[in-house]
Chains A and B, each alone.
Chain A
Amino acid sequence: MNVPITKNEMKIAIIDSGVDSNHTKLKDINLSGFGIKSNGAGFSYIKDYSDEFGHGTAIAGIIHKHTKDLPNVELIIIKIFFDHLIANEEIVIEAIRWCINNDVKVINLSLGIEKNNPPQNFYNVCKLAYDHNTLIIAASNNVARSKHKTYPASFPTVFGVDSGLIKKNKDYGYVKNNPIEFLAKGTTQRVLSNNGKFNIVQGVSFACAHFSGIVVKLIEDPKLINKNIEDIKMALIENSASNIKPWINYNPSGEIQYQITNVNLDYASNELFNNSKKFLWIRNVAIFPTCEKEMSLFAKMKSTSVKVQFLIDYPRQVKSVFNEANEFLLSINRVPNASELKKIDSFVIGYYLDQLFEGNIHFGDRLLELAISNNKNIYYFDKRLERKIDELKEKYNYTAVAYCPVIQLSDYNDLKPFKFLPEVNIPVIAVVGTSSKQGKFTTQLRILGIMEKEGYKVGFLSTEPHGELFSASYSFPYGYSSTVNIGSNNWLDFLDKVLKGIQFYNTPNLILTGIQSSIIPRVYDDHACYQSVLNSLTFLQGIKPDVFICAINPDDDIEDVMNTIEATKIYTGAKFLFCVLSPFRRTDEEGYESHRKISNTEFHDFCEKIIYKLNIPVIDVMDSDNDNFILEAIENSLIELN
Chain B
Amino acid sequence: MYDKHIKKKVLEIACDVLDYDMNGESKVSETQVSEIFYRIISNSLKATNFVVLIEDEYDIEFDDDEINIEFFSDLKYLCQVIKNHIG
Contacts and interface: CB of A to CB of B under 8 A. Distances in A.
Interface of A: 65, 167-169, 187-190, 193, 197-201
Interface in B35-87: 41, 44-45, 47-48, 51-52, 62, 64-65, 67-69, 71-72
A189 B51 contact: no
Contact of B62 (A169, A188, A190): A190
Nearest to B72: A188
Nearest to A202: B69
Contact of B67 (A65, A193, A200): A200
Interface in B10-30: none
A168 B51 contact: no
Given A188-B41, A190-B62, A198 B68 contact: no
Given A167-B65, A169-B65, A188-B67, 5 more contacts: A187-B68, A188-B68, A189-B68, A190-B51, A200-B67
A199 B52 CA distance: 10
A189 B44 contact: no
Main secondary structure of the interface of B (DSSP, over half): helix
Contacts of A168: 65
Interface residues of B, number: 15
A544 to B, nearest CB: 46
A172 to B, nearest CB: 14
Interface of B: 41, 44-45, 47-48, 51-52, 62, 64-65, 67-69, 71-72
Contact of B64 (A65, A193, A199): A65
Nearest to B47: A200
Nearest to A197: B48
Contacts of B68: 167, 187-189
Contacts of A198: 48, 51-52
Given A188-B71, A188-B72, A190-B51, A201 B44 contact: yes
Contacts of B41: 188, 200
Given A198-B48, A198-B51, A190 B72 contact: no
Among A169, A197, A198, A200, chain B packs the most CB atoms within 10 A around the CB of: A200
Contacts of A190: 48, 51, 62, 64, 67
Contacts of B62: 190
Contacts of B65: 167-169
A192 to B, nearest CB: 11
A603 B36 CA distance: 86
A547 to B, nearest CB: 56
B64 A200 contact: no
Contacts of B48: 190, 193, 197-200
Contacts of B45: 199
A242 B31 CA distance: 36
A24 to B, nearest CB: 12
A189 B65 CA distance: 8
A188 B64 contact: no
Nearest to B73: A188
Contact of B69 (A65, A187, A199): A187
B83 to A, nearest CB: 18
Nearest to A171: B65
A586 B56 CA distance: 93
Contacts of A65: 64
Given A199-B44, A200-B47, A189 B64 contact: yes
